[in-house]
Amino acid sequence: MVVISALLIQTFQMALVVALAPLLTGFIRLIKARLLRRRGPSVIQPYRDILRLLRKDVVLAENASWLFRVTPYLIFAVTWVAAAIIPTFATGLIFSWTADLIAIIALLGSARFFLALAGMDVGTSFGGIGSSREAMIATLAEPSMLLIIFTLALIAGSTQLSTIAAFMTSPQVGLRVSLAIALIALVMVAIAENARIPVDNPATHLELTMVHEAMVLEYSGRHLAMIELAASLKLLLYMTLIACMFVPWQLAVVGEGPVAYLVGIFAYLAKLAIGGALLALFETATAKMRVFRVPEFLGAALMLGLLATLLRFVSRSL
Amino acid sequence: MTSVSVLLSCVAALLGTAVLAVPIGRSAASTPVVYGASLVFCAVAFVFALAHLASALSVAEAPTIILPLGLPWLGSHFRIDALAAFFLMVVNLGGVLSALYALGYGRHEHAPRRVLPFFPAFLAGMNLVVLADDAFTFLISWEFMSLASWALVMAHHRDADNRKAGYVYIVMASFGTLALLLAFGLLAGSAGNYGFAAMRGSAHTPFVVGLALILLLLGAGSKAGLVPLHAWLPLAHPAAPSHVSALMSGVMTKVAVYGFIRVVFDLLGMPTWWSGIVVLIIGTGSAVLGILQALMESDMKRLLAYSTIENIGVIFVSLGLALAFKANDMELAAALALTAALFHVLNHSFFKSLLFFGAGAVLTATGERNMDKLGGLIHRMPVTSVVFLVGCVAISALPPFNGFVSEWLAFQAILQSPAVPQWGLKILVPAVGGMLALSAALAAACFVKTFGVAFLGRPRTSAAEQAVEVDRFSLTAMSVLATLCLLAGILPGIVIDGLAPVTLSLIGDRMPVQTDIPWLSIVPIVESRSSYNGLLVFLFTLFSASLTAYLIHRFASRELRRAPAWDCGFPETSPATQYTASSFAQPVRRVFGTLVFRAREQVDMPAPGDLRPARFAVETHDLIWEGLYLPIIGAVGFAAEKLNHLQFLTIRRYLSLVFLALVFLLLMLALWS
């Protein structure tokens, strides 16, 4: 019985993240439009886009290989698996021990690896420019992310997300300098990883500074739908990650009953809404950086991560 | 018959094959005979090494054999303990697959008589190094291994680059052996106890331990390719035929790691904490510098050789952590770090051999090592491209393949280190962790570049356009390695349990038994701290990808139409407009290379209306070669120049020189006593 309910919750969580991801993207777009005093498209526009793309033919470049066709599904699946392990509204997911935080980040690294390869598959210069810049961003974002993980793991004594979330809700955690620094660094990394302003522009096409959009330029139809969905899912994943580690309030614990789960779901939706609104506000207020300013931005994240880890190494209370 | 005698018989059989290869070298049958025999003998040795490792927990005494060779008062000692069994397994698995690959690849060899005798000899030498149980036998085998591999590097000696590579290699190898000789001399002490058993038993002063560690880092480190002693490696490894490159990079560097572990963890006794710091710094430097140089490279085999330096660095980082933990009596953490190191030894021998085999296959199919002249091979070499892709993903430390598991274990070991009392280590280790992650991310970039430029895109030359798939033997060898990469990634618990006897004998502790854990997860300490399940990650990904693909094809659309590439509306027809290896690396070069390689870009853009072509030039410097090696080479050259005129003296002057030397020596003797 316990196993069945745990499995149900895990399945529900998997469905929830996929169902919510386009909504979050639509919500952010709407807020951005309103901030610019435009009416903007409806919140559910991303769903319509994905459905329309799914029904369209795929137009495949003549020399595209099997790798190019497999990659969209692979990226989506990997992101989905990673997102399914992160506690959204309840901790103690049945498969949470499958991968810890390091493995989740590495899974996203696998997705990026294949997307960068797909960018080079057709042999166009735009694909190459996207892949090579994505590789550069990754070389700085991944070590920063790992140092942030080190900080959290040393505070909570675990790299297991459920344990970290449980520890963060407990009164032992307190206010720590290292946590504040890690949060800033994590937000910077999340912005870079999700190709948001100021690192990349998600709304652009045919711009020499684009990165993510340049890699996926040759995709169309259902393949493009998968890529778009995976990108939305990744944004949701990072927001969930920040929420479950830094604002883990009202996360339901195993066996607390349906009311706690319901409260957990509403709290999760509220967190996403606040996170999305903040992101929209930030994106509206900042300008896109030149590509070669990105290393400075991410270098700052790396240094902050290192500082936070060092604080944890030299002192137990900071 | 004990396992040590079986292994020695295999070595003797390999040496016999080497001798036999000399007279039959001219006949056409020599290639299959020599490689077939090597395959069989290595397979037997592999099976016995594996069996010994599997039963190592229950066997109390390591089997020893003493042959009446070597030093007259000592004889030649051979012994297999858990550590030796593990490395023998790595060596012979590499040998089996390399011989299998060479059954196909070796047929394209235009000078088989320069390769065939040395291939089994090289394998025998590596086996002997691991089997040796006294310093004399160890050094002789070490030198034998170096010379056999040198002969293989010089197989294509008509190429001037290869001659230079062979020269640099032999100089560095001699230097390394000299350092090892001195290290063993120190450990043997004035009594001359050259047996490993005597060295293990005697207590060494801290000064001797420190000096021996430095000498070992010079000796074993130069063979393994640690920065700054790596200069020969990117020259020599690619110069050999590809199956030998795979052995040199995938296996011989591991023999050097074995030498380091054998002396530092086994013979030296309790380490001091600063030895951990030294090894950590050198390992980190090798990891980052190695992979950055690999990223700048467009020659496929040289890129792989540079990436070997990175992986050796990763191994030494874990070894350094193990030393630091062991010095502080944190046995469980030390066992974790040592397991991470040994796991990476195994992993690297898998994927580096695989990648070198793949590079060899590309070389056979196109005659090109330069990636900027390849492209689009995924259409023409379907099997090679799949297995090469597996190697690329595995070496980039991405789940669910094996490279990730050892990297993950290393990170878990790093997370144990705040408990270390020394401040130097406390401040160093987080930086090391960051650098390890940086090198993993750079490795991913490097292998996206390798696969993307060589196998994807459009062919850049007609050679790449006319490539065909290689022979069955090569494909089988590569497929076996790719399967091993996946298996070690999704069933890591079995490997970790297999390594338990090694850590038990060297550290005195082991990681918890992994194969009992439900669902085959791996749990380094306890599950609430960290766990990883490669199998489930693999199955979940596979399942959700297939489910999604099925649902979409069933309910949405399955139409597909081929059309010219869109490329934002301005498709370029020439394949030269694609990203090349160096253009792919350009962003990374601008971020890191400005500092590390003093890279400078010069753009010469003519004004509008001017008809001369625009030019772009990049200037990079290998600062270690220029700052360390060139001054030494200069000093040696200067001294040789000064001493040169002594060669052109008259007989009278020579006689007076001899006389003066005699007087000088007699004076010294008189003054000394």
pLDDT score recorded for residue B1: 61
Helix (H) or strand (E) holding B303: helix B300-327
Contact B560 A60 (CB under 8 A): yes
Q: Which residues lie below 8 Å from residue B635, measured CB to CB, with a gap of 6+?
A: none
CB contacts of B546 in chain A (<8 Å) are 73
Q: Are residues B545 and B634 in the same domain?
A: no
Alpha-carbon span B338 to B322, nearest angstrom: 5
Token pair belonging to A207: 């711009």
* Binding-face residues of A in 36-75 toward B, CB within 8 A: 54-63, 65-67, 73-74
Distances (CA, A) of B515 to B336, B495, B497, B525: 16, 9, 7, 14
* A103 SS3 class: helix
pLDDT score recorded for residue A253: 78
pLDDT at A16 over 90: yes
Find the radius of gyration of the CA atoms of chain B: 27
Chain B nearest-CA residue for A116: B448
pLDDT at B473 over 90: yes
Alpha-carbon span B205 to B211, nearest angstrom: 10
Q: Which of B122, B133, B128, B127 is nearest to B46 (CA)?
A: B127
| Average pLDDT value for residue range B194-206 | 88
- 3-state SS record for B54-104: HCCCCCCCCCEEEECCCCCCCCEEEECCHHHHHHHHHHHHHHHHHHHHHHH
Of B398, B434, B565, the CB nearest to A124: B565
pLDDT at A208 over 80: no
> Average model confidence (pLDDT) for chain B?
92
Q: Which of B368, B529, B553, B557 is nearest to B464 (CA)?
A: B368
State which residues form the domain around B660. 623-672
Residue type, A255: G
pLDDT score recorded for residue B630: 94
Point out the domain boundary residue: B523, B550, B577: B550
- Residue B198 near residue B136 (C-beta atoms within 8 A): no
Top pLDDT among A90 and B160 is at B160
Alpha-carbon span A139 to B591, nearest angstrom: 10
Contact A109 B444 (CB under 8 A): yes
Percent of chain B whose predicted confidence (pLDDT) is above 70: 99
DSSP count for chain A of H helices, then E strands: 11, 1
Q: Are residues B510 and B639 in the same domain?
A: no
Instruction: Write out pLDDT tens, residues B422-444.
Output: 888 988 999 999 999 999 999 99
* Binding-face residues of A in 134-153 toward B, CB within 8 A: 135-136, 138-143, 145-147, 150, 153
Chain B nearest-CA residue for A14: B544
Instruction: Write out pLDDT tens, residues A241-278.
Output: 999 999 888 888 777 778 888 999 999 999 999 999 99
pLDDT at B72 over 90: no
Residue B534 domain-assigned? Answer: yes
Token pair belonging to A186: 């994590």
CB contacts of B566 in chain A (<8 Å) are 59, 61, 217-218
Give the dihedral sign, CA B61/B62/B67/B68. negative
Residue B540 domain-assigned? Answer: yes
| Average pLDDT value for residue range B206-230 | 93
Mind telling me how many Å the CA of B98 is from chain A's nearest CA? 28
Q: Are residues B538 and B635 in the same domain?
A: no
pLDDT score recorded for residue B60: 64
Mind telling me how many Å the CA of A45 is from chain B's nearest CA? 18
How many contacts does A have with B, using Cβ atoms within 8 A?
283
Q: Are residues B627 and B526 in the same domain?
A: no
Rounded to two decimals, the pTM is 0.95
Top pLDDT among B427 and A27 is at A27
Token pair belonging to B92: 């012979």
Of A57, A143, A312, the CB nearest to B560: A57
- Residue A89 near residue A244 (C-beta atoms within 8 A): no
Of A120, A218, A221, the CB nearest to B557: A221
* Binding-face residues of A in 75-134 toward B, CB within 8 A: 76-78, 80-81, 84, 95, 97-100, 102-103, 106-107, 109-110, 112-113, 116-117, 119-129, 131-133
Helix (H) or strand (E) holding A162: helix A161-169
Contact B565 A63 (CB under 8 A): yes
CB contacts of A143 in chain B (<8 Å) are 434-435, 437-438, 441
Contact A314 B426 (CB under 8 A): yes
Contact A60 B418 (CB under 8 A): no
Widest CA span in chain B: 101
Domain count, chain B: 2
Instruction: Write out pLDDT tens, residues A105-159.
Output: 999 999 999 999 999 999 998 899 999 999 999 999 999 999 999 999 999 888 9
Instruction: Write out pLDDT tens, residues B572-625.
Output: 888 888 999 999 999 999 999 888 999 898 999 999 988 899 999 999 899 999
- Residue B513 near residue B507 (C-beta atoms within 8 A): no
First to last CA, chain B: 55
**Testing the interface with A: which of B525, B568, B580, B595 to mutate, by most A Cβ within 10 A?**
B568
Instruction: Write out pLDDT tens, residues B494-553.
Output: 999 999 999 999 998 888 888 888 778 888 887 778 889 999 999 999 999 999 999 999
Q: Are residues B381 and B471 in the same domain?
A: yes
Chain B nearest-CA residue for A114: B448
Q: Are residues B513 and B653 in the same domain?
A: no
Point out the domain boundary residue: B495, B521, B550: B550
Residue B440 domain-assigned? Answer: yes
> Average model confidence (pLDDT) for chain A?
91
Find the radius of gyration of the CA atoms of chain A: 19
pLDDT category at A205 given cuts 50, 70, 90 is low
Contact A150 B427 (CB under 8 A): no
pLDDT at B180 over 90: yes
**ipTM reported for the complex, 2 dp:** 0.96
pLDDT category at A202 given cuts 50, 70, 90 is confident
Contact B457 A312 (CB under 8 A): no
Contact A314 B590 (CB under 8 A): no
pLDDT category at A171 given cuts 50, 70, 90 is confident
pLDDT category at A206 given cuts 50, 70, 90 is low
pLDDT at A204 over 80: no
Q: Are residues B388 and B474 in the same domain?
A: yes
Point out the domain boundary residue: B498, B525, B550: B550
Distances (CA, A) of B578 to A166, B359, B574, B575, B583: 50, 21, 8, 6, 9
What φ, ψ does residue B231 adopt, rounded to 5°?
Answer: -55, -35
Q: Which of B441, B331, B364, B472 is nearest to B110 (CA)?
A: B364
pLDDT at B634 over 90: yes
Chain A nearest-CA residue for B579: A128
Contact A113 B399 (CB under 8 A): no
CB contacts of B560 in chain A (<8 Å) are 57-58, 60
pLDDT score recorded for residue B404: 96
